[in-house]
Amino acid sequence: MGSIVKKERLLEKIAALIKQARGNVAHAINCEMVLLYWNIGKIVKEEIVRNKRARYGEQIIQSISSQLAMNYGTGFSSQNIWHMVKFYEVYPILSAMRRELEGLSWTHIKTIIYLNDKLKRAFYVILCKKEQWNTRMLEGRTGTSYKGTSYKDFFIHKNGLSLISPCDNIITRIVQKDFYALFKRH
C-alpha cells in the first residue's frame, strides 16, 4: 500500500511539472507572437501608411498577405495585418504595450484595441487579467456593465481613483491597487 501511495505522489509531482512547463511554453509563445504582430504593425504603418501610400497600401497588404499566408499560415490575412497596424497605432510605445498587455492573447488584444477610450481599455485589460476572462467573456462584456459597474463608474481625481457607486467585488480591489498605479504616472 505504501509503494502505491509513493507512486501516486510521484506521478502527481511529475504531472504538475509537465503542466507548469506547458503553461510556460504557451506563455512564451504568446509573448513572442504579440511582439511579432506589434512589430509587423509598426513596419506596415511606417512603410505604407505614414509615407502617404495608403491608397495603394490595401493592394500591397493584400499581396504581402497572400505571400505570408502561403509561407507562414493563416495568421497573416490582410485583415489581421490591419489589426496589427491598429495595435501599433493604439500602443506605439513598446515598453508600455508589454507592461500593460502582459499575459493577454492576440484575440484579447484585437478586442481591446478597438475600444476608443483609454480608460475603458485599461479597465478591461485589468479585468481580463484579474478575472482570467477568455476572449468570449471579454467580447461579451465590452460595451456593457460588469457586475453593475461599468468603466464609466470610475473617475480620476488628485488622490487617485474612486468608485462613484462602490460595490463589494473585484472592482473595488482593482481600483484600490491597479488603477491608481496605471494612471499615477500620467
87: Cβ contacts below 8 Å, ≥ 6 apart: 37, 38, 41, 109, 110, 113
With cut-offs at 50, 70 and 90, classify the pLDDT of residue 161. very low
Residue with more model confidence, 181 or 3: 3
Residue 106 and residue 37 in contact, taking contact as beta carbons nearer than 8 Å: yes
Residue with more model confidence, 168 or 2: 2
C-alpha cell at 130: 484579474
Residue with more model confidence, 143 or 178: 143
Q: By percentage, how much of the chain surpasses pLDDT 90?
A: 49
Read off the pTM: 0.72
Distance of CA 128 to the CA centre of its chain: 8
With cut-offs at 50, 70 and 90, classify the pLDDT of residue 165. very low
Phi first, then psi: what are they for 147, rounded to 5°?
50, 40
Please state the rounded mean pLDDT for residues 44-57. 74
CA distances 83 to 32, 102, 145, Å, are 17, 18, 25
Residue 174 and residue 122 in contact, taking contact as beta carbons nearer than 8 Å: no
Q: By percentage, how much of the chain surpasses pLDDT 70?
A: 72
Would you state the pLDDT for residue 67? 94
**Span of 32-36, 59-63, 112-116 with lowest mean pLDDT:** 59-63
pLDDT in tens, 16-41: 999 999 999 999 999 999 999 999 99
